[in-house]
Amino acid sequence: MSLTLDEVKHIAHLARLELSAEELELYRQQLSSILDHVAQLDELDTADVEPLTSVLAEQSELRVDEPGQALPLDKLLGNAPDTDRDQFKVPPILD
Amino acid sequence: MGDFTNLTLIEARDALRQGDFSSRQLTQAYLDRITAIDKGIKAYLTVLSDEVLQAADEADRRLQAGEELPLLGVPLAIKDLLTIEGVRTTCASRILENFDPAYTATAVQRLLDAGAIVLGKTNMDEFAMGSSTENSAYQTTHNPWDVERVPGGTSGGSAAAVAARLAPAALGTDTGGSVRQPASFCGVTGLKPTYGRISRYGLIAFGSSLDSVGPIGHTAEDVALLFSLMAGHDPRDATSMDKTVPDMQLTETNSIKGLRVGVPKEYFIKGIQPEVESAVRAAIAELEAQGAEIVEVSLPHTQYAVPVYYIIAPAEASANLARFDGVRYGLRVESDDYIDMFKQTRGQGFGPEVKRRIMLGTYALSAGYYDAYYGQAQKVRRLIQDDFIQAFEQVDVIATPVAPTTAFRIGEHSDDPLEMYLQDIFTLPGSLAGVPGLAFPVGFDENNLPIGMQLIGPHFGEAKLFEAAHVYQQATDWHQQQPQLNISK
Amino acid sequence: MTKYQPVIGLEIHAVLETRSKMFDDAPVVDSTHGAPNIAVSPVSAGMPGVLPVINQRAVEYALRVALALDCEIALTSIFERKSYFYPDLPKGYQISQYQHPLARNGELTIHTSQGEQVVRIRRVHIEEDTGKLTHVEEDGENYSLVDLNRAGVPLLEIVTEPDLHSVEAVRAYAYGLRAVLRYLGVNSGNLEKGLLRIEPNISLRPKGSEEMGTRTEIKNLNSFRTLERALSYEIERQTEVLNSGGDIRQQTLGWNEAEQVTVPQRSKEEAEDYRYFPEPDLPPLVLEQSWVDEIRAGLPELPYTKQQRFVQQYQLKQGRAALLVEDQAVAEFFEAAMGAAQDIEARLVANWITGDLFSHMNDSGEDIEDLKLKPANLGTLVQLVSSGEINQPTAKGVLAEMLGSGRSPAEIIEEHGLGQISDTGQIEAMVSEVLAANPDELAEYHAGKEQLAQWFFGQVMRTAQGQANPQLLRMELERQLSESKQ
């Protein structure tokens, strides 16, 4: 499975990763090689197999609707790179 | 420096209870050893010198008052993937260089509630992605048995710390083998429990359906104690199972007579280092000598574990790591455009292996590819799980090597990711199936590098694993060997 | 006459008004006012290492809605991760449902000028809300702020088939669904506060055609009024485009209130690839059939059913019945008023409620449950007017006093001597008096100025302080006027 450079750029965009030209080419090769290895999964007939979406638990346990403690502002914002007016500050979002 | 650091976890705990020495003395001994040795091993990312001594003093007060918590005053090392409130947690990544969590991982909290104290946070492969601890953004950890070699990964820091006696025991995490393989490379004992046995709350997620907290120690007894203190349902983790945690009684009188030990032919393939195979076979023979019945079994889908894992784990990781966007915590690379801010932050903050897996996972989930990759992988995963379920109808435990080789040299596999992935071939199937696996030392190769064996059990079958390993460790002394370390003064 | 038929589907997000969030126990607060970031936990902040746990009441509320909409319930449904990057989405993915939603194939019946219509519901599923972004421009700086109070609040997404073909139908559906949600106690229906969000998608096709045209969708409509206006505008716009031979571009639109036009939202370079996959942190949502049955059995009589019953049982017009059932408390008030008195015309009670009572409630801001006026007293009041004991204008005054004091009509009428004068003797005397006191006007009347009859009527009524029985008065006045011709 050989990925094209355009495909790799598209994936990098979907994943919001800024990659250099060298990185793009390196990943292109490495991902292609990994996907080649992964292709052996096609050998198996899985038509009647249920995907293993939940490893062991058969159902979710539900939580009673009781509000708990919210994080105090200093804990919530304490790791933030930039804040203003008790909110996370980011570059302008215009859409 | 006394002999305190030669004690196992349980020995140290008992000695503290008896008043043979204080927690402060014990803790100071470890801190001294860390100061002397760790620059050569680089097991720790953060050492909590002041905090742990304060905690030791507090523990001493309680010991003197007669309190008898299971781990009172015993220091531990914790992998830097598990959060502790107020303690910098990095996941060995630049993107979390100064992250201060507001919450402690449940597994760690349970040990703290049992009286344990924390020496520090250990090194790992960035975001638990790797097999050697070479992917840390901060430092490479060295194998105490040969510092030119890797300790294994991703819990390399924790395994090396225990092997080099820089902590009596440690917590690691295991997603595809990340406790078992470093345990094997470092000559210590490590458990990947049944998926869902120990809460994942506070375990920074890589592969959510695979991640497990795993204790590492010198003996099966030590590991069993840590396991029993951490295991059990957590309402904050919807995947944590509500199953009774076995009350392990490991003494001299345990017996494995009649235990059916399966030996899967798919695990004894060409390409394994011959000494690894012979040590493991010898260990199996020892189990037989102790009364076990050896049965050949087959796990026919074993070979597909690597491709299945390297679709599912990166797919889950690509979503788990999307939260690292520079908005609320962690590194931010400033920009006038928010999309550019995301891309630069993540591009610079993540290391190459992390980026590679995010890309792989994103691709596997992307439009048009889901069925072929992720969908198919989840189905084959079911087949792999079924292999184990069926095998356990015939046997009680399954014995396998942990890794195809002993510890490899630093730099040996870093050029070819796929080669590195193939190192996990014996640990991945168990991870995918969610079954427990216990790794413990069974010999050394001609370079005096440890060789480990893995016992795999059915879901919730940890008790039999501990018992078998314990019986083995009563009859052998591989686990008591210590690396020769040059202690710089 | 347009040759195109609008084809409209609605995607509605309704906040499930629980006390804690969908996947964690952070409290739910009104995120449209008050301090930011005071209702956030590590889970709703998307911090590293945290995990979601499903809110039971949110599931219960979701089931109520799905059952009220007659959906097929999936006893096992799956949560999935919907991945995209945005500053108000803490985890970089939203936990939602995709391939295996909670419910499918339901319906909601509406009534419009075209009659009754069944609108098909394609699916109902549960998801979590995002945080809120605010844009700031000041001192030359240009930036945005993220408030996570709303992040993680439970949302129910309800999607119709494109079965709506007019703005009227959309309105009926939107109001109808809102009424259902309010009856079920899961959502208070406030669009302005974003508790209910309506996103129409709309295309046109030639009348009679079965093919679907290219559609646009409209977001960020924060009132029923803008919903209707935006839709009307968009229908016109698409009509013009098609009429001039152009093509409709598939796009997401917003509504520009100032210009009163739809405008494309900033175009995203490519359609989002959400890379859905099952949420590994949440095992399947498995429901006991017995719980589902219990919830179904506990559903109240729903608005549309109640509306049709009112039409049948009380002979009300659809429109009036619709007004009464929109709010369950109003419907109950109406029926309590009807139940309190014998043989009163429902139409009259309905008129009092939708007229005077609603007007009063608009002014005072009260809900009908808060009124001092008790339903039984309204019933009695209507009875008193019907029996002629008081007249309509008097009744209005009595009503106003009842609203202020909560006292019964009988008390008020008694106290103020407001009983309508229906005694023929009294009326005869009053008419005589007025005619006698105004001989000039009487002469003018007989000379041909017939409109003076109305003036005489007013004069007698004034003498009677408004309390004369108007029908009796009119009859007596006519009689005396004709007799006085001699």
Report yes or no: B227 at the A interface, CB cutoff 8 Å: no
Structure tokens at B320: 């788990």
- The answer to whether residue A68 neighbours chain B at the CB level (below 8 Å) is no
Cβ neighbours for C81, distance < 8 A, ≥ 6 positions apart: B319, C93, C94, C95, C96, C275, C276, C277, C278, C279
User: Per residue in C232-277, pLDDT tens?
Assistant: 999 999 999 999 999 999 899 999 999 999 998 865 545 689 999 9
State how many domains chain A has.
1
DSSP alpha helix (H) spans, A39-90 = 73-77
Chains that touch B (3 or more CB pairs under 8 A): A, C
Is A57 a member of any domain?
no
Collapse the DSSP code of C380 into the 3-class scheme (helix H, G, I; strand E, B; otherwise coil) and give the result.
helix
DSSP string, C390-409: S-HHHHHHHHHHHHHH---H
CA C28 – CA C187 distance, rounded (Å): 13
CA atoms within 13 A on the CB side of B425: 21
Cα nearest neighbour of C287 on chain A? A59
Q: Find residues 344-363 of chain B whose CB sits inside 8 Å of chain A.
A: 344, 346-348, 350, 352, 355-356, 358-360, 362-363
Residues of chain B with pLDDT under 70: 1-2, 486-489
Q: Is the dihedral of CA C85, C19, C301, C335 positive or negative?
A: negative
Is the minimum CB–CB distance between A85 and chain B shorter than 8 Å?
no
Contact flag C275-A61 (C-beta cutoff 8 Å)? no
pLDDT-derived band at C391 (thresholds 50, 70, 90) equals confident
Q: What is the pTM of this model?
A: 0.92
Domains of chain B in sequence order: 4-266+273-299+386-480 (3.90.1300.10)
ipTM of the complex: 0.96
What's chain C's average pLDDT? 92
What residues contact B274, with CB distance under 8 A and at least 6 apart? none
B346 contacts in A (CB within 8 Å)?
Answer: 15-18
Q: Which helix (H) or strand (E) holds A22?
A: helix A21-38
Mean pLDDT across C413-429: 80
- Token pair, residue B467, equals 């018992």
- What's residue B489's pLDDT? 42
Q: Average pLDDT, stretch C288-301?
A: 97
Residue C310 near residue C111 (C-beta atoms within 8 A): no
The CATH code belonging to domain C424-484 is 1.10.10.410
Range of the structural domain that residue A20 is part of:
5-42
Which tokens go with C47?
Answer: 């911090």
The model's pLDDT over C443-465, given as tens digits with 9 standing for 90+, comes to 999 998 989 889 999 998 888 87
Chains that touch C (3 or more CB pairs under 8 A): A, B
CA distance B280 to chain A (A): 28
> B459 touching A, CB under 8 A?
yes
Please name the member of B331, B360, B382 whose beta carbon is closest to the beta carbon of A52.
Answer: B382
Q: Looking at residue A69, what is its pLDDT?
A: 94
Asked if B383's CB is within 8 angstroms of A15's CB, the reply is no
Contacts of A68 in chain C (CB under 8 A): 20, 25-27, 41
State which amino acid sits at residue C425. G
| B residues 180..219 contacting A (CB < 8 A) | 194-196, 209
**CATH 1.10.10.410 occupies which residues in chain C?**
424-484
pLDDT (0 to 100) of residue A33:
93
Name every chain A residue with its beta carbon within 8 A of the beta carbon of B241: 56-57
**Tens of pLDDT along C316-335?**
999 899 999 999 999 999 99
User: For position C340, what pLDDT does the model report?
Assistant: 86
For B339-403, list the strands marked E by DSSP.
397-401
How close, in Å, is residue B239 to chain C by CA atoms? 6
**Does B194 sit within 8 Å of A56, measured CB to CB?**
yes
